[in-house]
Amino acid sequence: MDLKQLLLKDAMIMDLKATTKDEAIEEMVDKYYQVGVINDKDLYKADILKREAQTSTGIGDGIAMPHARDKAVQRATVLFAKSAKGIDYDSLDGQPAFLFFMIAAPDGADNLHLQALAALSSLLINPELVANLKKATTADEVQKLFDDAMAAKEAKDKADEEKQAAKAAAAKAAEAAGSTEDQKPYVVAVTACPTGIAHTYMAEAALKEQAEKMGVDIKVETNGSEGVKHKLTADEIRRATGVIIAADKKVDMPRFDGKHLVNRPVSDGINKAEELINLATEQKAPVFHAEGGAAADEEESTESKSLWSKIYADLMNGISNMLPFVVGGGILMAISFLLENSVGAHSQWFLFFNNVGNYAFSFLIPVLAAYIAVSIGDRPALLPGFVGGYMASQATASVVSSKSPAGFIGGLLAGFIAGWTVVYLKKALKNLPKSLDGLKPILLYPVLSLLIVGAIMYFAVDPVFAVVNHAITAFLESMGTGNAVILGTLLGGMMAVDMGGPFNKAAYTFAIGTFTATQDGALMAAVMVGGMIPPLAIAIATTFWKNKFTEQERQAGLSNYVLGISFITEGAIPFAAGDPLHVIVSSVIGAAIGGGLTQLWGVNVPAPHGGIFVTPLANKPLMYLLAVVIGAVISGVIYGLWKPAKKAEK
């Protein structure tokens, strides 16, 4: 496509006034509306924000490319804008953005915006063009720079294609003649990122540019949103000295069976192109072996991401799939507590909202475990992950009786156990006769993985947490209520340790038992305050330290205000699972302080649940709310200050 036809001069903003990401988006959307590119600002902006919620379009190196396609757009356009001071745009490298390309495409525009992104990405890998764009002061200069860059790229691409064709023919002829003299090293590569847009094409451009400098022939296949482009042929793969996979999503791997293969994140394709090419040409990467020569087994390649990067990616897969259950179920439960105060606990309206919310919550730990497992072991790990997570979410009778489930910590363990169980099963069964290949996914993997994971959960994980729960309960009972402040501090802190696991359940059960026996709600106040503080702390931190969180985390943080005041501690679980040290420690500190304050001030709440909605029942409602606020602010500030700035996303 011709990019210069999309860069309208009257849609350019040469001096962006905005100082924040939201203001920048608003200013660019307003400009589109003024020049008639869009006819509905709200619709287009909503789709821009929806795309930003998936992952930031701040691609790094001072560049942001927000984009959307909807019926508000009247014609395909690329709006260019620049900011002299730079704007914090949640960019993947954590640096301010100076150049902005907002892409608008009409609904049904045959992926014009994706093509524009691809073209822009491949051009913007050129530091000279980026530097010149930052210096440009007029719309005419910008168009001229892109005209020249596009013309140069088209000429170069055409020359490269002709060269590649000639080289391929020469290589074939030389191979047929048995001569290898004067042949350049030849490698093939595949680039792909989760959204299939910017990084896919930037990695392609970086690898090709570096290969040319090094005198290496290369062909790069892109797996982008437009589909597979420049698909590698069997002959090209066969001739290649080595293979480079620069991808953050799965690609077609079996075709590379028997080749030296470098498997790295897509960002390495952009930033470490020379290193990857050297590994491929010198055949220092391990030889890849596809399972049975027919199905990809990416774990065979040890040249991969770092251990922590892999663990973090697996965690994020579980958390992102769990988040809708947390938010949807939590909000409905919060609504049910509101209704309970006005229509009563036996109303069908209360029961409907409360039950549906609880049904959603019953999937939190199983979904977390299942999708951690899938990230590690692919689809065969879904079954053992779900079942292991379910076992962690239930107070099941195993070899040791327990009234408390293993909770989200047990769910995390279940996910990793299930995923790696399947990985090792694949390796253990790969030498079976090929006639049994069809039985692996439908019989062998499900039965064996379920048996192994179920046994580990039943005989090891659940019993360990059962013993922990029993010990905690015995300790609490031995304390009695002699020192109320210490006990309140302890109960409040325990509510934040594992947010549904043995510590949380032991504290809550102890308070419920005391309340049932004595009708004294003093300890209920401590556990209620302690349980409200973790999600409220998350909400505070994501509000006031925005630059340390992704867009998705900030959106989830907002919902934690509602979940927190509703005494739904589980709203903090996705954050605790992804960053346990900072979240749990800060939450425990604030929750312990809040719980202790309720006993210091003699607060009594004669209700087993309800959060702030049962404030009218408290004997000292203002002190009750103040304990929540103080604890939440302390936890939120500690977490916000302590949490490291977010890393660049791959």
Catalytic amino acids? 67, 193
103-123 burial string, b = 16+ CB within 10 Å, else e? bbbbeeeebbbbbbbbbbbbb
Give the number of C-alpha atoms closer than 13 A to the C-alpha of residue 363, restricted to the C-beta side: 18
Distance of CA 378 to the CA centre of its chain: 17
Q: Is 157 left (phi over 0), alpha (psi -120 to 50) or beta?
A: alpha
Burial of 506 (0-12, 13-18, 19+ CB in 10 A): buried
CA–CA distance, 646 with 91 (Å, rounded to integer): 10
Helix (H) or strand (E) holding 244: strand 242-247
Which residues fall within 8 angstroms of residue 118, CB to CB, at 6 or more apart? 197, 200, 201, 222, 224, 226
CA–CA distance, 396 with 405 (Å, rounded to integer): 7
CB distance 204 to 122 below 8 Å? yes
Q: Encoding tokens for residue 4? A: 């210069």
CA–CA distance, 541 with 637 (Å, rounded to integer): 7
**Closest Cα partner for 369 from 287, 456, 469, 299?**
456
Q: Encoding tokens for residue 226? A: 């437009």
Give the number of C-alpha atoms closer than 13 A to the C-alpha of residue 342, restricted to the C-beta side: 5
Q: Encoding tokens for residue 366? A: 């199983």
Helices 580-600, 522-544: axis angle to 10 degrees equals: 140
DSSP codes of every residue in 87-115: EB---TTSPPEEEEEEEEEETTSTTHHHH
DSSP codes of every residue in 543-588: HH-GGGS-HHHHHHHHHHHHHHHTT-GGGGHHHHHHSHHHHHHHHH
Burial of 461 (0-12, 13-18, 19+ CB in 10 A): buried
Q: Encoding tokens for residue 222? A: 């892109």
Which residues fall within 8 angstroms of residue 330, CB to CB, at 6 or more apart? 357, 361, 559, 562, 563, 566, 568, 570, 571
Helices first, then strands: H and E counts in the chain: 24, 10
Distance of CA 192 to the CA centre of its chain: 17
CB distance 87 to 97 below 8 Å? yes
Q: Encoding tokens for residue 128? A: 């000279």
CB distance 384 to 418 below 8 Å? yes
